[in-house]
């Protein structure tokens, strides 16, 4: 079945309005060999220039941001940091017609992701296409996100809010609509007024690294039972630790704002960058010290590590080059067996030592 036949069969209202975009398929197939280390990712996104613009908009949209805070409990600096990182404050919203991008991915994208993009295309047809009509198509990222805050169609359908309550939310042209919609999203994901973003940027503790990650987010009383006393812990707020490079870098204690932010983007590097930029916009300062020689392993190196771990009797899961829970647990067990501090961070030293054992 051709693309046009598929559109006619499943999304007839889009006939003549969407097209197959080969460049989108190329981006979908690309698997980066190396991911940026946290320090490079953060430095690229949380810049002094964005801090200055964020502080400018903090004044310019003071009324709107304070009203949003009163209604949703989301801090102005957090919203501005997300806006700055997602689209550079609306300057780079994306150049791909999102209807065509979503249709392309639903029709010919990676098989396991097609149902997701099919659902997004349905939301697009119901919620966004009627707003666009015959006009110039709405553009966004190659994956179909659009607007100042880069919402997928489903996110727009569920969380879009009109600041002035005048019809559908216009997250593409109205900055207040975009900001209040993002606040609604974060609030629905559990952010409460008074929750902090970074509770302790330089946490010093001997608590086991196995407690790291959002899966172990908990209130202060639970952390006390685990061996970590959180000063001035707020009742009802959940905290979690992150150690992006294990023993090679900082250990950070995040609060409820960051926990909600993970639902916006589940990348730890993204949460770190937004957190730093929000702190900068507020006039604060955070500068994490990293061992910059401890670069992350590339995908092929991770796949190699997974194969070696499995060969040696550790259940590392599939050798797919992606560090999931199985691989992280296997790494910690292997580190313990080698007498290395079990931080779950796979580095070149670990890979080399395990290869020696295999050989």
Share the mean pLDDT of the chain: 94
Q: Which fold has domain 35-91+189-295?
A: Lysozyme (1.10.530)
Give the C-alpha separation, 83 to 151, whole Å.
Answer: 11
Lookup: tokens for 107 = 């029709």
Q: What is the pLDDT of residues 296-333, one digit of tens each?
A: 899 899 999 999 999 999 999 999 998 888 999 999 99
SS3 of residue 6 by DSSP: helix
Q: What is the pLDDT of residues 277-289, one digit of tens each?
A: 999 999 999 989 8
Q: Which fold has domain 299-358?
A: Muramoyl-pentapeptide Carboxypeptidase; domain 1 (1.10.101)
Q: Return the closest-CA partner of residue 163 out of 146, 183, 138.
A: 183
What pLDDT does residue 32 have?
A: 64
Q: What is the pLDDT of residues 20-43, one digit of tens each?
A: 999 999 998 876 666 789 999 999
Question: In this structure, are residues 186 and 72 in contact, taking their beta carbons and an 8 Å threshold?
Answer: yes
Residue spans of the domains in the chain: they are 35-91+189-295, 299-358
Q: DSSP H helical segments within 312-346, as ranges?
A: 325-338
Question: In this structure, are residues 334 and 354 in contact, taking their beta carbons and an 8 Å threshold?
Answer: yes
What residue has token string 């001997």? Answer: 206
Contact residues for 291 (Cβ-Cβ < 8 A; gap 6+): 245, 248, 249
Beta strand 139-140 with 96-97: parallel, antiparallel or unpaired?
A: antiparallel
What pLDDT does residue 132 have?
A: 79
Is the Cα dihedral 264, 268, 269, 272 positive or negative? Answer: positive
Q: What is the pLDDT of residues 217-268, one digit of tens each?
A: 999 999 999 999 999 999 999 999 999 999 999 999 999 999 999 989 989 9
Is the Cα dihedral 125, 128, 133, 139 positive or negative? Answer: negative
What pLDDT does residue 193 have?
A: 87
Which residues share a beta bridge with 198?
Answer: 254
Q: How far are the Cα atoms of 15, 17, 58, 88, 188 from residue 181, in angstroms, in the given order?
A: 30, 27, 17, 17, 11
pTM: 0.92
What pLDDT does residue 61 have?
A: 98
What pLDDT does residue 322 have?
A: 86
Q: Return the closest-CA partner of residue 306 out of 339, 334, 336.
A: 334
Q: Return the closest-CA partner of residue 143 out of 30, 261, 1.
A: 30
Question: In this structure, are residues 14 and 125 in contact, taking their beta carbons and an 8 Å threshold?
Answer: yes
Give the C-alpha separation, 56 to 51, whole Å.
Answer: 9
Give the C-alpha separation, 110 to 105, whole Å.
Answer: 7
């Amino acid at each position: 079945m051709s693309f046009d036949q598929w559109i006619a069969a499943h999304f007839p209202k889009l006939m003549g309005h969407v097209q197959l975009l080969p460049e989108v398929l190329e981006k979908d197939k690309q698997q980066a060999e190396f991911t940026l280390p946290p320090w490079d990712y953060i430095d690229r996104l949380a810049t002094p220039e964005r801090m200055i613009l964020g502080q400018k908009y903090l004044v310019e949209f003071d009324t709107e941001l304070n009203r949003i805070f009163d209604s949703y409990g989301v801090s102005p600096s957090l919203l501005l940091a997300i806006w700055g990182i997602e689209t550079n404050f609306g300057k780079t919203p994306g150049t791909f017609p999102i209807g065509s991008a979503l249709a392309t991915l639903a029709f010919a994208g990676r098989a396991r992701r097609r149902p997701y993009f099919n659902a997004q295309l349905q939301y697009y047809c119901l919620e966004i296409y009627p707003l666009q009509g015959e006009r110039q198509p709405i553009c966004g990222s190659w994956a179909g996100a659009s607007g100042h805050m880069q919402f997928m169609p489903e996110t727009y359908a569920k969380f879009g809010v009109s600041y002035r309550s005048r019809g559908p939310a216009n997250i593409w042209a109205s900055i207040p609509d975009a900001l209040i919609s993002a606040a609604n999203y974060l609030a629905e994901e559990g952010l409460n007024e008074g929750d902090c973003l970074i509770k302790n940027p330089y946490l010093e503790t001997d608590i086991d690294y196995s407690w790291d990650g959002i899966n172990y987010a908990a209130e202060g009383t639970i952390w006390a039972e685990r061996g970590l006393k959180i000063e001035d812990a707020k009742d009802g707020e959940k905290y979690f630790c992150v150690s992006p490079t294990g023993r090679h870098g900082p250990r950070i204690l995040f609060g409820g704002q960051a926990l909600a932010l993970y639902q916006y983007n589940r990348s730890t590097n993204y949460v770190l960058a937004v957190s730093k930029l929000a702190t900068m916009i507020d006039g604060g300062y955070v500068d994490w010290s990293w061992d910059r020689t401890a670069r992350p392993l590339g995908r092929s190196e991770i796949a190699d590590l997974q194969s070696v771990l499995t060969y040696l009797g550790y259940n590392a899961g599939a050798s797919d080059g992606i560090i999931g829970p199985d691989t992280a647990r296997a790494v910690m067990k292997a580190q313990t067996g080698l007498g290395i501090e079990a931080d779950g961070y796979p580095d070149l030293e670990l890979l080399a030592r395990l290869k020696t054992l295999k050989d």
